[in-house]
Chains A and B, each alone.
Chain A
Amino acid sequence: MGEVIFHVFLIIVMGLFFKDSFAITSGRSADPIGPAGFPQTLLIIIIVLLLISLFKAIRKLKSGEGKGEPLNLNFAYFGLLLGIIVFIILNDLISFTLATIVFTFFLFWMLGQKRYVRMFVQSILVAVVFTLVFGKVLSVPLPRGMGILKELTYFLY
Chain B
Amino acid sequence: MDFQLLLDGLLTTISPVNLLLVFAGMLIGVFFGSLPGISSSMGIVLMLPFTYYMGILPSIILLVALYAGSSYGGSITAILFNTPGTPESVATTFDGYPMTKQGKAGRALSLAISASAFGGVFSVLIMLFLAPPLSTIALKIQSAEYFALTVLGLIVIASIGTKSPLKAISSGLIGIMIALIGMDPMVGVDRFTFGHIELMNGLEMIPIMIGAFALAEVLNQVTERHNQINVDKKVSLETVKLIDMIKYKWVLLKSAVIGTVIGILPGTGGSIASIVSYGEAIRSSKNKERFGQGEEEGVVAPETANNAAAGGAMIPTLVLGIPGSPTTAIILAALALQGLQPGPQLMSDQPLMLYCIFFSMLIASVTVFIGGRIGVKAFAAILKLPYSILGTLIVLLSMVGSYAVGNSMFNVWIMFLFGIIGYFMKKYHFSPAALILGLVLGPMMEENLRRQLLVTNGDYLSFITRPISAVILLFAIVALFYPVIAKAVKNRKNSNGDVSSNM
Binding site for B on A (CB under 8 A): 2-3, 6-7, 10, 14, 17, 20-21, 24-25, 27-28, 30-36, 38-39, 42-43, 45-46, 49-50, 52-53, 56, 71-74, 76-77, 80-81, 84-85, 87-88, 91-92, 100, 103-104, 107-108, 111-113, 122, 126, 130, 134, 138-143
Please state if B399 and A84 are interface contacts (CB–CB under 8 Å). yes
Q: Determine if B348 is an interface residue (Cβ-Cβ < 8 Å).
A: no
| C-alpha spacing A49/B166, complex, angstroms | 7
- Is B184's CB under 8 angstroms from A107's CB? no
Q: Which 5 A-B pairs have the closest CB atoms?
A: A27-B187, A32-B458, A111-B388, A76-B222, A35-B184
The DSSP consensus for interface residues of chain B is helix
Assess A45 versus B222: contact at CB under 8 Å? Given A20-B194, A84-B399, A100-B396.
Answer: no
Complex interface residues of chain B between 387 and 437 (CB less than 8 A to chain A): 387-389, 391-393, 395-396, 399-400, 403-404, 407, 409, 412-413, 416, 420, 424, 427-428
- With beta carbons under 8 angstroms apart, the residue of B170, B407, B449, B453 that contacts A141 is B407
Please tell me if B169 contacts chain A, counting CB pairs below 8 Å: yes
Q: Which residue on chain A has the smallest CB distance to residue B425?
A: A6
- Judge whether A73 and B396 touch: CB under 8 Å: no
Chain A proximity of B172: nearest CB distance (Å):
10
C-alpha spacing A10/B400, complex, angstroms? 28
**A80 in contact with B219 given A130-B396, A130-B400 (CB within 8 Å):** yes
Determine how close the nearest CB of chain A comes to the CB of B359; give it in whole angstroms: 28
- Return the chain B residue nearest A80 by Cβ: B222
- In the assembled complex, the Cα of A85 lies from the Cα of B409 at a distance in Å of 11
- The closest CB in chain B to the CB of A103 belongs to B396
User: A126 and B392: CB pair below 8 A?
Assistant: yes
Residue interface mask B33-51, A partner, CB < 8 A = 1: 0000010000000100000
Q: Is B167 an interface residue (CB 8 A)?
A: yes
Identify which of B174-182, B274-282, B473-481 touches chain A.
Answer: B174-182
Q: Which residues of chain B (125-184) have a CB below 8 Å from chain A?
A: 164, 166-167, 169-170, 173-174, 176-177, 180, 184
**Could you tell me if B404 and A39 are in contact, using CB atoms closer than 8 angstroms?**
no
On chain B, the residues within 8 Å of A80 by CB distance are 218-219, 222, 395
A81 and B420 contact, CB distance less than 8 A: yes
Residues of chain B contacted by A52 (CB below 8 angstroms): 166
Q: For the complex, is B2 an interface residue (Cβ under 8 Å from A)?
A: no
B287 at interface (Cβ–Cβ under 8 A)?
no
Are A39 and B46 in contact (CB-based, < 8 A)? no
B432 vs chain A, min Cβ distance (A) = 13
| Closest chain B CB from A48 CB (angstroms) | 10
Interface size on B, residues (CB 8 A): 56
Q: Which residues of B contact A24 (CB under 8 A)?
A: 184, 189-191
Residues of A within 8 Å of B450, CB to CB, are: 31-33, 38
* A91→B184 contact, CB < 8 A: no
Cβ of A87 and Cβ of B399 under 8 Å apart?
yes
- When the two chains form their complex, are residues B223 and A134 in contact, meaning their CB atoms are under 8 A apart? no
Q: A87-B399, A91-B409, A138-B46 are in contact. Are A21 and B173 (CB under 8 A)?
A: no
In the bound assembly, the distance between CA atoms of A103 and B397 in angstroms comes to: 13
Task: Collect the chain B residues with CB atoms within 8 Å of residue A30's CB.
Answer: 454
Chain A contacts for B17, CB-based, 8 A: none
Residue A53 contacts which of B167, B387, B392, B458 (CB distance < 8 angstroms)?
A: B167
Q: Does the CB pair A126–B223 fall under 8 Å?
A: no
Known: A52-B166, A108-B389. A88 touches B416 (CB 8 A): yes
Contacts of A111 in B (CB 8 A): 222, 227, 387-388, 391-392
Tell me the bound Cα distance from A142 to B446 in angstroms: 35
Q: How far is the CA of A139 from the CA of B126 in the complex (A)?
A: 36
- CA of A76 to CA of B387, assembled, Å: 13
CB–CB A88/B409 < 8 A: yes
Do B180 and A38 touch across chains, with their CB atoms under 8 A apart?
yes
* Complex alpha-carbon distance, A76 and B428, angstroms: 20
Whether, in the assembled complex, B52 has its beta carbon less than 8 Å from a beta carbon of chain A, the answer is no
Q: Which residues of B contact A138 (CB under 8 A)?
A: 38, 46, 404
A27:B454 contact, CB within 8 angstroms: no
Q: How far is the CA of A33 from the CA of B391 in the complex (A)?
A: 47
- A50 — which chain B residues lie within 8 A by C-beta? 170
State whether A25 touches B189 (Cβ < 8 A): yes
Complex CA gap A35/B443 in Å reads 12
Cβ-defined contact, B395 with A31, below 8 A: no
Nearest neighbor of B452 in chain A, beta-carbon distance? A32
- Tell me whether A140 and B403 are in contact (CB under 8 A): yes
Asked if residues B170 and A46 are in contact (CB atoms below 8 Å), the reply is: yes
Complex: how many Å from CA A3 to CA B388? Answer: 29
Q: A76-B223, A80-B222 are in contact. Are A14 and B174 (CB under 8 A)?
A: yes
Residues of chain B contacted by A88 (CB below 8 angstroms) = 399, 409, 412-413, 416
Decide if A107 touches B391 in the complex (CB within 8 Å).
Answer: yes
The residue that A35 contacts in the complex, of B189, B223, B420, with Cβ under 8 A, is: B189
A residues in contact with B169, CB < 8 Å: 49
| Contacts A/B (CB < 8 Å), 18 sampled | A2-B428, A20-B192, A20-B194, A24-B189, A27-B187, A28-B187, A35-B187, A39-B192, A42-B177, A52-B166, A76-B222, A76-B225, A77-B223, A80-B219, A107-B391, A111-B227, A130-B396, A134-B400
CA of A7 to CA of B192 in the docked complex: distance in angstroms? 21
Please, which residue of chain B has its CB at the minimum distance from the CB of A30?
B454
- B69 → chain A closest CB, angstroms: 16
Q: Contact between B180 and A39 (Cβ–Cβ < 8 Å)?
A: yes
Bound-complex Cα distance A56 to B227 (A): 34
The answer to whether A42 touches B176 (Cβ under 8 A) is yes
